Amino acid sequence: MASLVEAEELDARDPLASRRELFIGSDDPSVSAYLDGNSLGRPLRASAARLASFASDAWGSRLIRGWDEEWFDLPLSLGDRIGAITLGAAAGQVAVGDSTTVLLYKLIRAAVDARPGRTEIVVDTDNFPTDRYLVEGIAAERGLELRWIESDTRGGVSPAELEAVVGAKTALVLLSHVAYRSGFLADVPALTAIAHDSGALVLWDVCHSVASVPIELDEWGVDIAVGCTYKYLNGGPGSPAFVYVRRDLQNQLSQPIQGWMGHAAPFDMGPGYSPAPGMRRFLSGTPSIVGMQALRDMVDLIAEVGMEAIRAKSETLTRFAVEAVDDWPASWAVELATPREAERRGSHVTIEHPAFKQITAELWRRGVIPDFRAPHGMRLGLSPLSTSHVELWNGLEAVREQLVRL
Ligand SMILES: *Cc1c(COP(=O)(O)O)cnc(C)c1O
């Protein structure tokens, strides 16, 4: 039986437990359980200090000189650091900029244009909405067809399902590493190899895995990946996304938003667009330097503790959540909508019950914050560095109390 005592013991044995105090809000009595760090990570205390000093020093005092001193290169230098610490990417393959949606648009367009004569994009029906909406628009724009994999909303895309739809017509396969709804963890090397066997490119959306699941983009032979920084990278609401493009592909790709910041010589301000070599060509306009500040502290913290320790904690947390839900009476009919094996899921657990919409609203009023996903999924997002087992237990108890009353 999962219990408060067990949660306390797990916290006592957790080598990352003391890191929780580094986050603002971890001692806020009005929020007894924050279970939505997979939508918006908590701020680090170091980030509050960094943002304040950024305003007074880097921006307020260095002024326009900041561009020459650091900011012009920050999309690439911070990209390299995210790549080295969280993506298994050698330097020169990651850039930070735009939102995930805009980067996905740019890279999907670039990828399909790099496979002329191929007329199909493969995508799954349970991929994140923005991914699905983007390919609808791009297919219309470029006269392409969509091949949908009907994926299981409690699981994800299997190698056999992908094998059944890819072929000589496939230009691009667009998949998510961790399914935003079910938490299913896709087999990136196997699925990437299947797409490559048919001559297609693959774009991995790593929004829900980066900084919670170890990623080895270079080793896995990934072509392109895009991810968020405001979830497990704690960059703050709307912090910019990042893109990885494998080195040998970079100069073969042309992205459609041809802005001056991606130009080979932006300050010549000359006629005609000529893309910069390497990752800079994937930038468009002036990057959000303010938006890049907070996530630097989280990347430093991850570098210190390592992705292996983060993954180990994440598995302990999700196992404890599943165990606690399993203890609830079968007559409540709460269903697990996440793979049962810890190694087949990311860092959130989704449970389903018809009353979860109303229950989630009540919990939010009481300072217990999971996420609701229509039609009746409750997502328990477990951010390994900022969530404790006792916090998770408190949240699960609050859900249980609501269910008892039904
Ligand atoms: C959060 C998330 C996004 C969000 O894209 P934005 O442009 O930042 O709104 C995209 N894809 C996945 C898989 C996500 O989890």
Are the CB atoms for 191 and 173 separated by under 8 Å?
Answer: yes
Q: pLDDT tens string for the chain (406 positions)?
A: 899 999 999 999 999 999 999 999 999 999 999 999 999 999 999 999 999 999 999 999 999 999 999 999 999 999 999 999 999 999 999 999 999 999 999 999 999 999 999 999 999 999 999 999 999 999 999 999 999 999 999 999 999 999 999 999 999 999 999 999 999 999 999 999 999 999 999 999 999 999 999 999 999 999 999 999 999 999 999 999 999 999 999 999 999 999 999 999 999 999 999 999 999 999 999 999 999 999 999 999 999 999 999 999 999 999 999 999 999 999 999 999 999 999 999 999 999 999 999 999 999 999 999 999 999 999 999 999 999 999 999 999 999 999 999 9
- Which residue, among 286, 234, 276, has the nearest Cα to 255 in the 3D structure? 276
Rounded Cα gap, residues 307 and 303, in angstroms: 8
CATH code reported for the domain at 70-302: 3.40.640.10
Question: Residue 82 C-alpha to ligand 1 middle, in angstroms?
Answer: 17
Are the CB atoms for 244 and 86 separated by under 8 Å?
Answer: no
b/e per residue 265-297 (b: at least 16 CB within 10 A): eeeeeeeeeebbeebbbbbbeebbbbbbbbbbb
326 is a catalytic site residue: no
Q: Which of 205, 223, 297, 371 is flagged as catalytic?
A: 205
Domain boundaries, the chain: 4-43+306-404, 70-302
CA nearest ligand 1 atom 5, residue: 100
- Decide whether any atom of ligand 1 lies within 6 Å of the 394 Cβ: no
CA nearest ligand 1 atom 6, residue: 100
Q: Which of 23, 128, 180, 184 is flagged as catalytic?
A: 128
* CATH 3.40.50.2300 is right for the domain spanning 4-43+306-404: no
CA nearest ligand 1 atom 8, residue: 100
b/e per residue 355-390 (b: at least 16 CB within 10 A): bbeebbeebeeebbbbbbbeebbbbbbbbbbbbbbb
Q: Which of 39, 40, 101 to mutate to test the pocket of ligand 1 (most atoms within 8 A of CB)?
A: 101
231 is a catalytic site residue: yes
Tokens of 329: 């009476």
Question: Residue 265 C-alpha to ligand 1 middle, in angstroms?
Answer: 31
Three-state SS at 123: strand
DSSP element (H, E) containing 204 = strand 201-205
- Decide whether any atom of ligand 1 lies within 6 Å of the 207 Cβ: yes
pTM score, two decimals? Answer: 0.98
